[in-house]
Amino acid sequence: MTDVTTLTDSLPAGTVVTDPDILAAYRQDRAQDPDAGTPLALVRPTTTAQVQSAVRWCAEAGVPIVTRGAGTSLSGGATAVDGALMITTEKMRGLAVDTSTRTAVCKPGMLNAEVKAAAAEHGLWYPPDPSSFEICTIGGNAATNAGGLCCVKYGVTVDYVLGLEVVLADGRAIRLGGKQLKDSAGLSLTRLFVGSEGLLGIITEVTVRLLPPQAPACTVVAVFPTVADASRAVVAVTSQTRPAMLEFMDNTSINAVEDMLAMDLDRTAGAMLIAQSDAPGPAGAAEVALIEQAFRAHHAQEVFTTDDPVEGEAFAMARRVAIPAVERRGSLLLEDVGVPLPELPALVQGVAEIAEKNDVTIAVIAHAGDGNTHPLIVFDPEDTDEARRAQLAFDQIMGLAVSMGGTITGEHGVGRLKKGWLRAQLGDDALELTTTIKQALDPQGMLNPGVML
């Protein structure tokens, strides 16, 4: 095994960790890939210069690098590789809000929730809101182009990143973009790095734009007899308006969340939709009426509307805890497939058929308003046959989404778990182009090997 002494000696005491117990805690990310490797060592830099030192050491020693934020990847994007150096950006902390430009310059280890809170202190708003916003980092959000619940109206992370500092594979640190809102000078490198899943460089600073605060939202919740009714109601809403949130939960998810939170959800419902409108005044009232009408036209059994933000947040929270709630029933294979919106009913139907065919439980939650679904395949890892059937279902769902002109990942990234399907979605030529760019920027293939490609 490579000797890390020279690396350890070049960085402040405690920055390089080789304690096996600590390494074990960093081997896996939230996807809990059983095939995760064991890293050579863990580096916890606090500055860009320390990241550069570590990357240069790796380049010289021929050691691959796995970059990790908070380790909340649901697709194995931060899973350790045997013999690789794991660099976590969690200790790179600090944030400065600039109200005059409505921007925040964030070190990558700041949590999404901390960015939101710092913006709010100045009466501003950072919209992207992955369900893990309280525990995931802004650096990881940028590396994966993270989405969330409000993205249906307010866009994903890339829509907010104005500038980056990135450490390249050869150890150089470059600055891209900045605080100016509009900039078309040169190729769009900032946007290329967002969502690049650590393949092109290590993000060491993120400048995000902030919005004026969101207007108070009105929440509409409805339960439906079937998932088909609910998904058709989604399309009826989105073809007419752009709600601030439009989330979907099926019966399995509803029951899992009800087991966890006991908030009196309807356990018999086939599906539930949670919509929000933040349009102010009469426009908001009209949007709420439109949503209610679309829900009723698609057989909603009960429609509950509230402009109490606490009540509204309770339903949003119910949706956000669905993954840990369903996880109580077994191990999960997490899908992130998306389709053009009119295909949503067929996708949801197809997932049900795949569950039945493979005799596995699949709970479905979705950022339905942008066609992005999270089928959660539940299995017992001790039951090898069920685990095999779960994997079959996992592959079949990605195949189904691709056949509908959709995507294998709407917001989690390809990571390690979905790369087998990337060619089917992108096609040979676009995949080759992706590889060409990767090789041009990281000719030694040092950065996050095995992720995406």
Which residue of 13, 181, 262, 310 would you call a contact of a second copy, by CB under 8 A? 181
Buried/exposed code over 139-178 (b: 16+ C-beta within 10 A; e: otherwise):
bbbbbbbbbbbbbbbbebbbebbbbbbbbbbebebeebbe
Rounded distance between C-alpha atoms, residue 291 and residue 155, angstroms: 20
Q: Which helix (H) or strand (E) segment is 176 a member of?
A: strand 173-177
How many CA atoms, within 13 angstroms, populate the side-chain half-sphere of residue 187?
3
Which residue of 14, 20, 34, 186 would you call a contact of a second copy, by CB under 8 A? 186
- Collect all residues with Cβ–Cβ distance below 8 Å to 242 and sequence separation of at least 6: 152, 153, 369
DSSP string, 195-253: T-TTSS-EEEEEEEE-BSPPPPPEEEEEEESSHHHHHHHHHHHHTT---SEEEEEEHHH
Contact pattern for a second copy over residues 103 through 142, marking x by CB under 8 A? x---------------------------------------
Which residue of 410, 417, 447, 448 would you call a contact of a second copy, by CB under 8 A? 410
Q: Which of residues 191-220 bind a second copy (CB under 8 A)?
A: 191-192, 194-196, 199-200, 211-212, 215
Q: What angle do CA 29, 30, 34 make, to 5 degrees?
A: 65
Q: Whose Cβ is closer to a second copy: residue 15's or residue 409's?
A: 409
Q: Whose Cβ is closer to a second copy: residue 279's or residue 326's?
A: 279
Q: How many residues bind a second copy (CB under 8 A)?
A: 89
Rounded distance between C-alpha atoms, residue 274 and residue 369, angstroms: 10
CB of 364 to a second copy, least distance (A): 16
Of 15-23, 217-225, 386-394, 410-418, the segment contacting a second copy by CB under 8 A is 410-418
Q: Which of residues 346-385 bind a second copy (CB under 8 A)?
A: 367, 370-372
Of 107-115, 174-182, 261-269, 356-364, the segment contacting a second copy by CB under 8 A is 174-182
Place of tokens 């919106």: 341
Rounded distance between C-alpha atoms, residue 418 and residue 426, angstroms: 13
For 433, the 3-state DSSP assignment is helix
Of 4-12, 244-252, 312-320, 334-342, the segment contacting a second copy by CB under 8 A is 334-342
Q: Which of residues 33-92 bind a second copy (CB under 8 A)?
A: none
Q: Which of residues 267-306 bind a second copy (CB under 8 A)?
A: 279-284
Q: Which of residues 417-446 bind a second copy (CB under 8 A)?
A: 418, 422, 425-427, 429-431, 433-434, 436-441
Regarding 182 and contact with a second copy (CB under 8 A), the answer is yes
